[in-house]
Amino acid sequence: MTEGYRWRRVPKSAKSMRVDGLVLVFLFLVTSASLVALPGTAAHAQEHKAGKSYRVGFLRAGQPPKSWVEGFQQGLRERGYVDGQNVVIEFRFTDGSYDQLPQLVKELVRLKVDLIVVGGAPPALAAKKATTSVPIVFVGVIDPVELGLVASLGRPGGNITGLAVNAADLAGKRLELLRELVPKLRRVAVFWDPSNPSNPIQLKGAESAARTLGLQLAPVPVHGQNDFDSAFKAMRGADGQLQLESPLFVTHRARLVELAATSRLPTVSGYKETVEIGGLMSYGTNFPDLYRRAATYVDKILKSAKPADLPVEQPTKFDLVINLKTAKALGLTVPSSVLARTERVIE
């Protein structure tokens, strides 16, 4: 307080108090309206986020098993995305061939999708060639570095990342399991798809494992479903069959199971979905779970993460599935050592 002065409250008249009150109410309303209209407020941001809808492309060569699509949709739901509500999934499939893939990718780009999920190497390569701006998440690609999809697993670079599979090692493991199941196994026919750029990588892994196991491989190229009958005729004299991973083989798995049963040929593949409909044995990645985990990448990218900064993931768990009914029909006894490692037994 300044020396020589005394401060005192000066009473206001009732009229002036009423005027001040009206002014305060007016200022409050103006301020509130300004805050509501301000686009940077938390309330507006939350409302905008809640009303946001995304469009996601889903591309594969061949119709995927229903469980794969359900796994992807489940992963999205776990992160708050519901198909038909705040996300629309644009599905695009071929009959298992690859020549339509470039056209389907262009179609998705024209739809202005926010992101494209691709299953396997052929769709991934087609998508990478078609766009450098739309983010791409691949699922189940074999050795994406060697295929030129990413610069490295740790830092993919560009607009693409996802989940890889080391199928070269898996092909060798499948041969080992087939030999345990078929003691007299000597000559193995290998179903492979020359049009699939990942199949030569798998075939090389199988050949390396065969040399270690003392097995003779007989590669049988299959260019399409019209080759199935002639391919099985070419396998006469084989003790067993190895099917490499390819959209062609999982799409037409029912026909392949039928031909294997008719030929009485013990067969191992990478897809448990084949065993579920009568195939003998599979060893490999749980693809429904792989697609479920792909939703994590989708969520991060839709929240502004860059594919170039998201490391490629590789599964560490693989499932062995055996159909005991098929084994019995082929006159095979499944060793207890194999049963002990089996994730699922179908009877």
Q: What value does the CA radius of gyration of the chain take, rounded to a whole number of Å? A: 30
Q: Tell me the mean pLDDT in the region 197-212.
A: 93
Q: If pLDDT is split at 50, 70 and 90, which confidence band does 2 have? A: very low
Fold of 52-165+287-309: Rossmann fold (3.40.50)
Say what percent of the chain tops pLDDT 70: 85
Residue 44: pLDDT band with limits 50, 70, 90: very low
Q: Write the DSSP assignment of 290-345 as a string of letters.
A: HHHHHHHHHHHHHTT--GGGSPPB-----EEEEEHHHHHHTT----HHHHTT-SEE
**pLDDT by residue (tens digit) across 132-177?**
999 999 999 999 999 999 999 999 999 999 999 876 689 899 999 9
Report the distance separating Cα 234 and Cα 229, nearest Å. 9
pLDDT of residue 50: 54
pLDDT (mean) for 178-197: 95
Q: Do 280 and 330 contact (CB within 8 A), yes or no?
A: yes
Summary mean pLDDT of the chain: 86
The residues pairing with 60 across neighbouring beta strands, listed in sequence order, are 93, 119
Residue 160, strand partner residues: 136
CA 76, CA 296: separation in Å to the nearest integer? 8
Buried b (16+ CB within 10 A) or exposed e, 64-100: bbebbbebbbebbeeeebeeeeebebbebbbebbbee
pLDDT at 51: 63
Backbone angles phi, psi at 32, to 5 degrees: -65, -40
Q: What are the CA-CA distances from residue 260 to residues 129, 275, 276, 327, 347 (Å)?
A: 37, 12, 14, 12, 18
Residue 47 has pLDDT above 70, yes or no: no
pLDDT tens-place string over residues 26-35: 334 434 444 3
Classify residue 133 by its DSSP letter.
S
The CA distance from 265 to 259, in Å, is 9
Q: Where are the domains of the chain?
A: 52-165+287-309, 168-285+318-346
The CB-based long-range contact list for 87-90 (8 Å cut-off, 24+ gap) reads 87/53, 87/54, 87/55, 87/56, 88/53, 88/54, 88/55, 88/56, 89/56, 89/57, 89/58, 90/55, 90/56, 90/57, 90/58
User: What are the pLDDT digits (tens) for 244-285?
Assistant: 999 999 999 999 999 999 999 999 999 999 999 999 999 999
Domain 168-285+318-346, CATH number (from 3.30.70.3420, 3.40.50.1860, 3.40.50.2300, 1.10.3470.10):
3.40.50.2300
Q: How far apart are the first and last CA of the chain?
A: 95
d(CA 177, CA 241): 12
Quick one: pLDDT at residue 262? Answer: 95
Residue 158 CB partners (closer than 8 Å, separation 6+): 128, 132, 150, 151, 307, 308
Mean pLDDT of the 113-124 span: 97
